[in-house]
Amino acid sequence: MALKKGDIIDERKRYPDSCGLVVKVMSGGEGFETLRCCGHDLTEEDVVSSPETSKGRKKGSLMIGMTIDEKKLFPDSCGLRIMVMDGGAGFQEIICCNHSVQESAMQSLEFGSGMRGPAAAPHTPQTGNA
């Protein structure tokens, strides 16, 4: 069961009373088997063209916009990389290429963090005694 870039998996498609996890495939996915959330196994059957309304989706430790990257833990994998779009309170794991990818593979989308040295003191022309 392969996924492709751009596929959206919506837990609410088959499980309307779930936390409502929605993820989008950013890359990889040839070895995708299942995504486990709220005790449900989400598969290719849960791929939608666009997610349903977000009313009542329960957010957990997976923040919206965060990515889960299989390559971070398993360099020899197909490289499934997904972005969390909504929900996720019941996220357990993703099984891909016979690997279990959990929250430890999460990456943040913090741009530029750690790129510069410590901030310099601001330069203000109003220094000295008056």
Asked if 65 and 109 count as a contact pair (C-beta separation under 8 A), the reply is yes
Calculated CA dihedral for residues 103, 51, 71, 117, nearest 10 degrees: -70
pLDDT digits (tens, 9 = 90+) for 27-58: 999 999 999 999 999 999 999 999 877 788 99
* Partners of 96 in beta bridges: 32, 99
pLDDT of 114 above 50 = no
The predicted pLDDT at position 98 comes to 92
Q: pTM for this structure?
A: 0.77
User: Considering Cα of 18, then 109, then 103, then 44, what sign does the dihedral take?
Assistant: positive
How far from the centroid of its chain's Cα atoms is residue 123's Cα?
Answer: 40
Supply φ then ψ for residue 27, to 5 degrees. -165, 170
pLDDT band at 109 (very low <50, low <70, confident <90, very high): very low
Query: Looking at per-residue confidence, does 18 or 111 come out higher?
Result: 18
